[in-house]
Amino acid sequence: MRGRWRWLLPLSAIPFLALLGFGLTRNPQFFPTPLIGQPAPVWTLQALDGDSLSLEELKDKVVVLNFWASWCIPCRAEHPVLMQAARTWPDEDVAIIGMVYDDTERNAERFLARMGNDWRHMLDPGSRTAIDYGVHGVPETFFVGRGGVVAYKHIGPLTWDVMKTKIDSLLAVPR
Amino acid sequence: MTHRRRMRRAALALAVAVLAGLPGTLAAQEPMQPAEPDPDSTLTDPRAAALDAEAADIAAQLRCPVCSGQSVLESNSDIAQQMQEVIRERLGEGQSERQILAYFRGSYGDWIILTPRPTGISLLVYVLPALALLGGIVWVIVAVRRWSAPPSAPGSGGTEASDSRADSDTVSDDLSAEDEAWLRQSIGGS
Amino acid sequence: MINLIGTVAITAAWLGAASLAVLGLTAGFRRSEPLLRGAKYAAGFVFASMVAAVGAMEYALLTHDFSVEYVAQVGSLETPPYYTAISLWSSLEGSILFWGFILASYTAVVVWVQRRSHSRLLPFALGTLGVVGMFFYGLVATVANPFGVVSPVPANGPGPNPLLQNHPLMGLHPPLLYLGYVGLAVPFAFAIAALLSGKVDEEWIRTIRRWTITPWAFLSLGIVAGAWWSYEVLGWGGYWAWDPVENASFLPWLTATAFLHSVMVQERRGMLKTWNLTLIIGTFLLSLFGTFLTRSGVLDSVHAFTEGFIGPLFLGFIVFITLISLTLIAWRADRLHSPGTLDGVVSRESSFILNNLLFAAFTFTVLLGTTFPLIIEAINGDRISVGPPYFNMVSVPLGLLLLFLMGVGPALPWRRTSGEKLRRTFLPPVLAGVAAAGLAFVLGIRAVYPLITFAFAAFVMTTIVEEFAKGIGARRRISNVGPLRALGQLLVRNNRRYGGYIVHVGIVVIVVALSISGTWRFEREATLNRGQEMVIGHYTLRFDSVSAWREPHRDVVAATFSARRGDTDVGTVVPSTNFYRQDARASEPIATPAVRSFIDEDLYLTLMSFDPSGAHATVRVIVNPGVPWLWIGGMIIGLGAILSVAPQRRSALVRMVTARSEGS
């Protein structure tokens, strides 16, 4: 390698190093979901208390679908936020629905007995609904607008900030 | 045969070998670890056995969402088993492989498919290695050309000796390269 | 107390490394003997400090001193002593400390081995090792300090990650890998030395070859050990997942292997100097890249430790080292260029050049595939996967071409050959290859890749046997001894070459085993009641019972299966699920497979679920043909590498001449 071509060697390393730098700025655990802007996948499931519920029944409300499990530590951290949300918005406007993910009925009930329960929790046998929503870990929460379209997916434990901002923005959309 | 012609033939042979390899490469798209249908399976329904193989094939192309890089077929996790159930169910309903993969793609995004799609920007991951290999071949040919001495160059420092060395290669190779170099230095003073 | 000793030791190591860097580089530029001596003392000081640091940490671990931060992180009173001892490298801070220890050891070994040498290269090399050391010891002393103080002192700790205490191989895989990764810093240092001093000659080649084979051997063994660990622990029946961190260990192996071959061309013909320098520097850069990947969370992997501050610092160091070393090459490129000549297109030189081309293409492809998700995300934010199907697709053809070349290269003479000689040399191997493929075909094998693999494998083995035969024949002509004695003499006198051939044999064994296990593996999952049997392949398995017992650090639930192979009873196979009792982090159980090895295949059982009363159990059974030969092949490579590294005895002729010339 002679002449000016030799400087190509160190120069060619720069894009690669920049790429690694970029890599440091993102979290490999966070995935964009193809469901944003799409109609939320429909489901009809049985709740922990035995009643059945389908997504269609909630079509005029803002729906918060929160996938959780009793064995999930961050779910414990976000539980108070959901409790607060259940208290803040009336049930006719905002429906908070817990989706039990990869867990047994007994463990879920025990968790709720300990942490508090103010909204409905659906059982998802075979994780069909979780797979429909592309869930790959808990907690994950989907915010669905009044038209049944998925507006936002939050990965990881919810914060009150996120909760309030997203719900307020969805409520602001006229019926 | 002249030196040039020999080189050209070598280059041609190499190119043919590489090109012959390409279709084979593209054909080998299926995963290298298919779980073959159990030869001693107690299943008597041939359609069920065929379904198992096809389900395994699809599962091998899907990435397990909670593992690090394992396929749905390999993983022991709950979600992987459940996804296998979904695959079997949909195959039973008559869906095609493409439809099933499209369903998972619709829920999880392109990430769930272990092989990048050969369309758009992702095509680069297939094209660039081929280009690199071909580019490398071209570079090597050019370099070998530059390095190849003109035939029968006289007095190029002991070509005679090296020829005879080449003939009795094994015996003199007995001397390690270091010893050879040291000897040449201390005896020949070169 | 230990905290203090450890922190002082690691700080001392950093200071020593700084001195080493300054003294070494200055000694090189000023050609100063006393400064070089100072550098050697600094290297010894660094080694002693790191021994103290690691010693302190091991002491703290084994005495369960929970006032030390790292021990509070990975220690536990219940963990068995062996796993406590090896937990040194089970988590981030400890692993960097271990990395630094190995670097210090290698530096000390370099000083010791080269103690009588008056090389221009040594001071620069030591200086470079000092610079590298400054980064790693600096990390340990500051951001990744395992010796932090924990107050109040906890009564107990969580123990290491359960996956890392589930199999004794965890005591082998990381040390071997580190001995490889870190060891590559030495040839790197000598390469930098060559660039700084401008001296790229025979002495450089000899030095760098010796210092590359050893880490190469460790890296090879480390990769095989990692595959074995993955197979025995992770329960999916596979051994290589093209996980980003696995790839990151494979990349420097590819370039190091290429280097070991192309450096022989430089040795004989004085060519490829720039290429070789770039190759060996690139190898260490890839090794750093691998170390970085494990600790920065850049790519999602089963190996990822934690992120945080370490990532950016590491990247900064990589940027520094990369730009400096590549700029040095570019700067010296003119001086390095040597007009080399090739006498023949069909010669060992050209086959090595082709081999390098293939290795380079292989490296590029694996690197591209590994970083491609990152590239795509940088371009348009999409998240895609590049997984095993892609890597298998590209690596199989390249691997087969390399396999074929492995048979061609060593059988070709240097410089040039004649058509007649070619025919004589290659007729038997080609016939053997065709025969092997034909035999396989007759036996019913129709899959294309295995057929090609068998053909090439037979081809390569025949050329290797031919080489041994030629060598034995030549030896006998010289010294008139029996064939066995001649073989012994070959292995001793010409260990570099024949050790290399043995390594090739190991590679052939591994490639064939890969082909067999990839193509004919099959599995079955079944739920069995107590006493019920299942059939898979020629095995019959009967579920006997479920048993549970308590160990200090875990609860084990095991299911016992009686196995029969054909009509022969082969005893019991006991897969289990291990529940590690720690804090919430590890409430999930670790399914531990049971592997029963036969000479031709493995019977691999994973317990998927069980009924606590023992009424039934669900088991996943995989029959893995060829897998035992992967580990055997790895051992053969190790043996060949050991033989190759041993110092070569000078032949009688050279000893005689040496004696004469020294006498005069």
Q: Do residues C20 and C129 make contact, with C-beta atoms less than 8 angstroms apart? A: yes
Q: What is the pLDDT of residue C589?
A: 81
- Across the A:C interface, residue pairs with CB atoms under 8 Å apart total 68
Report pLDDT for C92.
Answer: 85
- Model confidence at B127, pLDDT cuts 50, 70, 90, reads very high
Q: Select the residue of A2, A14, A71 nearest C334 (Cβ to Cβ).
A: A2
Q: Which residues of B touch C397 (CB under 8 A)?
A: 21, 24-25, 28
Question: What is residue C658's predicted lDDT score, i.e. its pLDDT?
Answer: 63
Distance from CA of A162 to the nearest CA of C (A): 22
pLDDT band at B142 (very low <50, low <70, confident <90, very high): confident
Boundaries of every domain in chain C: 1-165, 189-329+345-387, 522-628
User: Mean pLDDT throughout B89-94?
Assistant: 92
CATH architecture observed for domain C522-628: Sandwich (2.60)
What pLDDT shows up at residue C125? 95
Per CB-CB distance under 8 Å, the chain C contacts of B163 are: 415
pLDDT at C253: 97
Partner-chain contact A102 B65, CB within 8 Å: no
- Write the residue in A31, A102, A137 that is nearest to B109 by C-beta: A31
- Sign for the CA dihedral angle at C371, C376, C381, C382 comes to negative
- For B132-136, C109-113, C530-534, C655-659, which range has the lowest pLDDT when averaged over its residues? C655-659
**Residue of C620, C616, C632 lying closest to C595 (CA atoms):** C620
pLDDT at C103 > cutoff 90: yes
Sequence-distant contacts of C383-386: CB under 8 A, at least 24 apart: C383/A31, C383/A32, C383/B109, C383/B110, C383/B111, C384/B110, C384/B111, C384/B113, C384/B116, C384/B117, C384/B122, C385/B63, C385/B69, C385/B110, C385/B111, C385/B112, C385/B113, C385/B114, C385/B115, C385/B116, C386/B114, C386/B115, C386/B116, C386/B125
* Yes or no, beta carbons of A34 and B86 under 8 Å apart: no
Mean pLDDT over the full length of chain B = 69
Q: What is the CATH number of the domain that holds A65?
A: 3.40.30.10
Give residue B34's pLDDT.
37
- With a cut of 80, say whether residue C234 has pLDDT above it: yes
Contacts of A41 in chain B (CB under 8 A): 107
Interchain proximity A13–C278, CB inside 8 Å = no
Which pLDDT does position B27 carry in this prediction? Answer: 34
Confidence class for position C336, pLDDT limits 50, 70, 90: confident
The predicted pLDDT at position C288 comes to 94
Entry pTM: 0.88
Minimum mean pLDDT range among B153-157, C434-438, C529-533, C613-617: B153-157
Q: Say how far residue A128 (Cα) sits from the centre of its chain.
A: 16
Residue C560: is its pLDDT beyond 90?
yes
Which pLDDT belongs to residue C406? 94
- Listed in sequence order, the residues at least 6 apart from B142 whose beta carbon sits closer than 8 Å to its beta carbon are none
Asked if B85's CB is within 8 angstroms of A131's CB, the reply is no
ipTM of the complex: 0.87
Q: Taking CB atoms and an 8 Å limit, are C393 and B178 in contact across chains?
A: no
> Is the CB of B110 inside 8 Å of chain C's CB atoms?
yes
Q: Find which of C239, C346, C374, C393 to mutate to test the B interface (most B CBs within 10 Å of its CB).
A: C393
- Segment C648-655 shows an average pLDDT of 63
pLDDT at residue B155 in the model: 41
Q: What's the whole-number mean pLDDT along residues B133-154? A: 77
Cross-chain residue pair A19–C377, CB shorter than 8 Å: no
Three-state SS letters, C557-583: EEEEEEEEECCEEEEEECCEEEEECCC
pLDDT at position B30: 31
Interface contact B79-A127, CB threshold 8 A: yes
pLDDT score at B69: 80
Chain A residues touching residue B78 (CB < 8 angstroms): 102, 127
Q: Does C291 touch chain A (CB under 8 A)?
A: no
Q: Minimal Cα distance from B148: which residue of C?
A: C342
C-facing residues of B in 41-70 (CB < 8 A) are 41-42, 60-61, 63, 67-70
Domain with A81 in it: 34-172
pLDDT on residue C495 = 86
Contacting chains of C (3 CB pairs or more, <8 Å) are: A, B
Residue C363: pLDDT over 90: yes
Topology (CATH level 3) of domain B44-114: Helicase, Ruva Protein; domain 3 (1.10.8)
Beta carbons of B178 and C206 less than 8 Å apart = yes
Across chain C, mean pLDDT equals 89
Would you kindly state where each structural domain of chain B is located, as residue ranges? Answer: 1-29+121-150, 44-114, 159-190
Instruction: Give C-chain residues touching A103 at CB under 8 angstroms.
Output: none
Do residues B30 and B59 make contact, with C-beta atoms less than 8 angstroms apart? no
Q: Summarize pLDDT for C394-441 with one digit per residue, the tens.
A: 999 999 999 999 999 888 888 778 888 888 889 999 999 999 999 999
User: C381 contacts in A (CB within 8 Å)?
Assistant: 32
- Kindly determine whether residue C333 and residue A17, on different chains, have CB atoms separated by under 8 Å: no
Per-residue model confidence as pLDDT tens digits over C450-483: 999 999 999 999 999 999 988 888 888 877 888 8
